[in-house]
Each structure stands twice: as structure tokens, then as C-alpha cells.
Amino acid sequence: MLLRTFLREVNGISKKSLADIKFKGGKILVNQKEVTVRTTIFSGDRVEVYVPPEPKNESLRPECISLDIHYEDDHLLVINKPHGMPTIPSREHPSRTLANAVMGYYESHHIPFTFHAVNRLDRDTSGLLVVAKHGLAHDQLSKGQRAGKLKRYYLALAEGYVQPREGTIHAPIKRRPSSIIERMVAADGQEAITHYKVINTNQAYSEVEINLETGRTHQIRVHFAHLGHPLLGDDLYGGSIELLARQALHCQRVELIHPFTGKYLHFSAPLPKDLIEVKDKLIK
């Protein structure tokens, strides 16, 4: 088999990723000898792919900020993000973001890559997210996420008595024309699918476990507001801020198939203190 065929069709490495490896400082070895992708390989050959170092993003300033890292290897990080921290910089929040913190971590540990978020969390959503260390890992993890090999499970506190107690919200989402931030359910929006199960409830509030099939901006918040059950603390979508000043949403579990080893990995992060305190008050 041609090495190019093995890398692209068997291992799913994109044409762009192969070009980056070839022209930006990476290399490919077969049996410890550097080769081109036109080489023919045989059963028993050892193929090694070395990804190139990545240039620093000059607009992303490294900052020394503590990170709660739940997993790390040569290809990815799984990080428990606190609420109040944006994932990436914006005009309103140019610093103190997860991206700044990761770049500071890379700089202090001499890791020659830039920031690649596989999934993002809103600024006031807490919990686990996956960061790829290099472009090839990002490409593979993103493909895996679309194929259902990377799953995210959230816990939310929604207002009201959510019924039915288990179901799927299949409602397309788009940006509200009058806002650069707010999203809405609309027939001409992007497909958005949210699976949920109520695990505890009373007449006023429901504790809900959620599994995302798609990952649209504000998807969970928009979908539950659309049902008439906005998340507690989510004033953007009609939730009360009397007991909580941020949306009651936490990514508590991540499961994935490692794109290079094929191993099943799973991680969990307990509810932060503010959500535990509110939950204990509301749902007995």
C-alpha cells in the first residue's frame, strides 16, 4: 500500500495535515528512515509521524493562570474550566481566558504548539472541555466528535417542572437578528439536537442531565428556554438571577475514543460549590 493511502484512508489524516507535516517542519519515518508519502509500505513496517512545531499566535498573550488539568498526553488536554472564565479572548474579555492560561502553561513547559479548542464552554458555564495540543490532534478529535466518539454530559438546573422527564429536543438554532450574542430557535437555523433526562425535580425546579449531539452556541440554554424552562441564573434567556448570578450549567463528564491510541477515556468533574449550594436549597 502507498504510505499516502495508509495515512489518509486508514488513519484519516487529511490532505492539509499531510501538507503541514511535509512543508512546516514535520517528518514521516518508515522503519526509522525518513520517507515521502509516495513510499510503498508493507505489513510489519513501523510508521512514525512527527507533527511540526506551531508558530505562536501573536494576538494570544500567554498568562500565568492556574489550570485544573484532569488529563494530559502528547496530543490533548482535558481541563475543568471555572465559571466566569471565557474560553477564548474577545473584545469584551481580551485576557484571563482559558486560551491565555493554556498558552502560559505551554510556554512554562516548553510545549511548541498553539491553542486548539475542540469544544468550548460559555464564560459562565463550568466544567470539562477538551483542548488539542496540535493541529493534527484537533483535526482528528473534531472528526471524532462529529462521529460520536467524543461525548459531553452536562448537569443543569432548569426552572419549572420539566416534562416529559426524558426526551430529545430537536430544534434548529440561529443568531437573533437584533443581537450579536443571543441565539434563537428558528426553522432556518442550524440543526441542533439535545438529549435530556430529569434526575430530580419538584414543581419549581428540575435537575437535568444533558447529552449534546450537536454543539451550537448556547444550545442547551436556548433549547430549555424554548421549552419554557430557562436555566436558573440565565437572565439572557429569561432565567431568574435571584438565587444565582450565572447560568446553572456544568459539563460534568466527557467520554472519548483517543484518536491515536484508540483507547476509551472518560473523565468527570464534580459540581462546583455555588451549584451544590443552590441545588441543595431548591431540590430536596
Do 10 and 133 fall into the same domain?
no
Whole-prediction pTM value?
0.93
Active-site position among 122, 124, 139, 234? 122
- If asked whether residues 16 and 100 sit together in one domain, one would say no
**Count of the separate structural domains present in the chain:** 2
- Do 127 and 233 have their domain in common? yes
> Quick one: pLDDT at residue 152?
95
Q: Which residue range forms the structural domain that includes residue 11?
A: 3-50
Q: What pLDDT does residue 276 have?
A: 96
pLDDT at 282 (0 to 100): 87
- Residue 162, φ and ψ in degrees, nearest 5: -70, 125
Handedness of CA 169, 173, 176, 181 (dihedral sign): positive
Whether 59 maps to a domain, the answer reads no
**Residue percentage of the chain with pLDDT more than 90:** 92
Instruction: Look up 235 and say whether it is catalytic.
Output: no
Shared domain for 193 and 111, answered yes or no, is yes
Closest among 168, 222, 270, 236 to 279, alpha carbons compared? 270
Give me the chain's average pLDDT, please. 95
Asked if 141 and 42 sit in the same domain, the reply is no
Classify residue 73: in a domain, yes or no.
yes
Q: Is residue 61 part of a domain?
A: no
* Banded pLDDT at 65 (limits 50, 70, 90): very high
Using the predicted structure, report yes or no on whether residue 55 has a pLDDT greater than 90: no
Condensed to tens digits (0 to 9), the pLDDT of residues 72-122 reads: 999 999 999 999 999 999 988 899 999 999 999 999 999 999 999 999 999
What is the predicted pLDDT for the residue at 92?
A: 87
Question: Is 90 exceeded by the pLDDT of residue 245?
Answer: yes
With respect to residue 62, please indicate whether it lies within any of the assigned structural domains: no
pLDDT confidence tier of residue 203, bands split at 50, 70 and 90: confident
Residue 60, in any domain of the structure: no
Same domain (yes/no): 144, 24: no
The average pLDDT across 194-210 equals: 95
Specify if 55 maps to a domain: no
User: Is 248 among the domain residues?
Assistant: yes
Closest CA to 269 of 92, 128, 99: 128
35 and 81 inside one domain: no
Give yes or no: residues 151 and 261 share one domain: yes
φ, ψ dihedrals at 139, nearest 5° = -60, -45
pLDDT tens digits, one per residue of 143-155 = 999 999 999 999 9
Q: Quick check: 185 pLDDT over 80?
A: yes
Tell me the per-residue pLDDT of 168-179, one tens digit each, with 9 for 90 and over. 999 999 999 999
**What is the band of 284 on the pLDDT scale with cuts at 50, 70, 90?**
low
Q: What are phi and psi of 136, to 5 degrees?
A: -65, -40
Q: Are residues 127 and 176 in the same domain?
A: yes
Pair (197, 248) in one structural domain: yes
Indicate the residue type of 23.
Answer: F
Q: Per the domain annotation, does 151 fall within a domain?
A: yes
Same domain, 150 and 261: yes
- CATH code for the domain in which residue 150 is found: 3.30.2350.10
| Whether residue 225 sits in one domain with residue 90 | yes
